[in-house]
Structure formats: structure tokens, C-alpha cells
């Protein structure tokens, strides 16, 4: 199969997948959003070809049933990973849409989840495991800038530098505590406790996309709940400036008028027809 054949097949699978997701969720992307998603998939293939071609078990479902929360609720843990077996070594990969810098500087956040998956793989499935790793698919800033400027030479250099793989050490000692933490989250959800992070938390900084970013920038700006979130609102108000201009900025984060129009039209097109609701 030539490179062009593979790209054509990826485009076809992307379209099928998009139509399926659209039919299932009733949501649509604008044409720009769709193009950006396809471009990410193609670049991802370009960078991860070696790993993709060696995957021996793809989308492996891991299941840890019959767990009990601290308050006595029964629950299960499920996850999906990719496995590569090569030269007597087995590596488990978990794909995240986060960026390399963030994952690399906050490995402990990912370690817990992967440790549980490793535990299920080794203890319940009785399979060997030598390594766990995250594949962080978000573009680094240099790739995004080269794409925005349509600069082929810079893009080639940025792609060369782009690292997606982060080794995550696995340590089965803390698996019990991690499972208990999941249980506590299940209890909180069941009891409708959905308090947002504190304003202080929103003001903390961590490394992401090659620089130090605020939690409010890196996490909240990508959160659909931000327009009704009291912490985000208080953060915006306390972040300086006159309150009316601050709020104008806050409400303008929907994008430009034409972007909103495009998004609205795409979603109306994707919405089921009234006949679909007839019984």
C-alpha cells in the first residue's frame, strides 16, 4: 500500500467515524473544526507510524468489576488501551488528547490510572507487562504556529521535534489507594456533589505547551461548563480590570459572530428531522 493509499483510507475512515459520531450525538463540527481534526489525525499517523504498525492488540477493553465505594455502592472500572508485544517485551499505551509538556510534568496524574490498568492486565488477565506509556496527541505550540502560518519548512522542523511518547513508571503498591479514590469519586457523583475547583486552584500555574499556564487558561478555557461555573466567574472578576469590560471578554469567548453562525448551521444540519421523533 502506498503512502497516498493509506492517506486516502484514513480520510475515508475519518469521514465514516465522523458521520457515526454525528448520528450518535447529534452534534456537528464546523468545516474548519473538521479540517483541523483531520489534519491532526494525518499528522498523528505520520508521527506514530512505527507504533501504529506494531500494535498487536488495539482498543483492548479492561474491566475491574464488583468494586465497592467507601459508602457501600457497587461499581466497576473500565478502560481502553493499546498493547504492543515485540521482542518479548509488552508495552501498554494509553492515548490522551493532552499535550506532552503537561503530561510529562504531571506524570503522577496519569500514573494512577495506568497503574490500575496495569494491575487489571497483570493480575486479572495474568499477562506480562514491561512498560506503560502515554501517547499525548495535542500539537505542541511550534507545530500549531507552523500550521497557522502555512510554513512547510517550519512544520517539517516542528514535526521532527514533536515528541508524543511519555514513559509512565508503574508501581502496583498504590493500586489499592487509587481504586479507593475512584470509589470516592463515584460516591460524590451519586450524591450530586459537583463543586468546581476553587478560585485559588484556577490561579495555580503548571507547565503546558512549552510554558507556564494558569489552570484557568489550560483547563477552564476548554471546559464547556465555564459559562455557568461560579469559580470561573469569580476568577474572571478577580483577575483585574473593570467588571463590565472583564465580563464582556468573558462572554466573548464563544468566538466571533461568523464562527458562532457556522457552528449553529452545522449543528442544525446534523439535528434529526422532526419525523425522527414521530411514534
Give the separation between CA 224 and CA 236, rounded to whole angstroms.
Answer: 16
Query: Rounded to the nearest whole angstrom, what is the least distance from the CB of residue 103 to ligand SF4 in the complex?
Result: 18
* 32 phi, psi to nearest 5 deg: -65, -45
| 107-137 b/e (C-beta count within 10 Å ≥ 16 → b) | eeebbbbbbbbbbbbbeeeeeebeebbbbbb
Q: Find the distance separating the first CA and the last CA of the chain, reported in whole Å.
A: 48
| 2-37 b/e (C-beta count within 10 Å ≥ 16 → b) | eeeeeeeeeeeeeeeeeeeebeeeeebbbeeeeeee
Find, among 253, 192, 252, the residue nearest to 220 by Cα.
Answer: 253
Of the pair 207, 229, the CB lying nearest ligand SF4 is at 229
Of the pair 68, 189, the CB lying nearest ligand SF4 is at 189
Query: Rounded to the nearest whole angstrom, what is the least distance from the CB of residue 233 to ligand SF4 in the complex?
Result: 9
Placement of cell 482498543 in the chain: 59
Query: Rounded to the nearest whole angstrom, what is the least distance from the CB of residue 196 to ligand SF4 in the complex?
Result: 4
Give the separation between CA 100 and CA 162, rounded to whole angstroms.
Answer: 9
Helix (H, G, I), strand (E, B) or coil at 92: strand
For ligand SF4, the binding residues (CB under 6 A) are 196-197, 219-220, 223, 225-226, 229, 231-232
Would strands 165-168 and 74-86 be described as parallel, antiparallel, or unpaired? unpaired
Query: Rounded to the nearest whole angstrom, what is the least distance from the CB of residue 105 to ligand SF4 in the complex?
Result: 19
* 239 phi, psi to nearest 5 deg: -85, 5
Query: Rounded to the nearest whole angstrom, what is the least distance from the CB of residue 237 to ligand SF4 in the complex?
Result: 14
Query: Rounded to the nearest whole angstrom, what is the least distance from the CB of residue 201 to ligand SF4 in the complex?
Result: 7
Query: Rounded to the nearest whole angstrom, what is the least distance from the CB of residue 5 to ligand SF4 in the complex?
Result: 42
Of the pair 180, 223, the CB lying nearest ligand SF4 is at 223
Question: Taking the CB of residue 216, how many other CB atoms lie within 10 A of it?
Answer: 22
Of the pair 62, 220, the CB lying nearest ligand SF4 is at 220
Of the pair 105, 233, the CB lying nearest ligand SF4 is at 233
Of the pair 228, 273, the CB lying nearest ligand SF4 is at 228
Of the pair 56, 230, the CB lying nearest ligand SF4 is at 230
Amino acid at each position: 500500500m502506498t503512502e497516498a493509499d493509506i492517506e486516502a483510507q484514513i480520510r475515508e475512515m475519518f469521514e465514516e467515524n465522523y458521520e457515526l459520531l454525528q448520528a450518535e450525538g447529534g452534534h456537528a463540527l464546523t468545516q474548519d473544526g473538521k479540517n483541523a481534526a483531520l489534519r491532526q489525525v494525518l499528522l498523528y499517523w505520520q508521527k506514530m507510524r512505527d507504533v501504529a504498525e506494531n500494535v498487536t492488540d488495539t482498543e483492548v477493553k479492561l474491566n475491574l468489576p464488583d468494586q465497592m465505594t467507601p459508602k457501600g455502592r457497587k461499581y466497576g472500572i473500565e478502560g481502553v488501551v493499546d498493547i504492543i508485544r515485540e521482542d518479548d517485551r509488552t508495552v501498554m499505551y494509553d492515548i490522551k488528547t493532552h499535550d506532552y509538556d503537561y503530561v510529562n510534568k504531571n506524570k503522577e496524574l496519569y500514573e494512577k490510572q495506568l497503574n490500575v490498568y496495569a494491575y487489571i492486565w497483570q493480575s486479572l488477565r495474568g499477562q506480562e507487562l514491561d512498560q506503560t506509556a502515554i501517547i499525548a496527541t495535542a500539537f505542541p505550540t511550534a507545530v500549531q504556529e507552523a500550521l497557522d502560518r502555512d510554513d512547510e519548512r517550519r512544520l517539517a522542523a516542528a514535526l521532527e521535534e514533536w515528541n508524543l511518547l511519555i514513559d509512565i513508571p508503574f508501581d502496583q503498591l498504590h493500586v489499592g489507594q487509587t481504586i479507593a479514590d475512584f470509589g470516592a469519586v463515584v460516591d460524590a457523583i451519586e450524591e450530586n456533589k459537583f463543586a468546581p475547583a476553587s478560585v485559588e486552584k484556577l490561579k495555580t500555574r503548571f507547565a503546558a505547551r512549552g510554558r507556564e499556564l494558569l489552570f484557568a487558561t489550560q483547563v477552564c478555557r476548554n471546559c464547556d461548563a465555564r459559562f455557568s461555573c461560579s469559580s470561573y466567574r469569580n476568577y474572571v472578576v478577580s483577575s483585574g480590570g473593570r467588571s463590565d469590560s472583564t465580563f464582556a471578554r468573558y462572554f466573548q469567548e464563544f468566538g466571533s459572530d461568523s464562527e458562532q453562525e457556522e457552528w449553529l448551521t452545522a449543528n442544525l444540519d446534523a439535528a434529526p428531522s422532526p419525523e425522527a421523533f414521530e411514534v
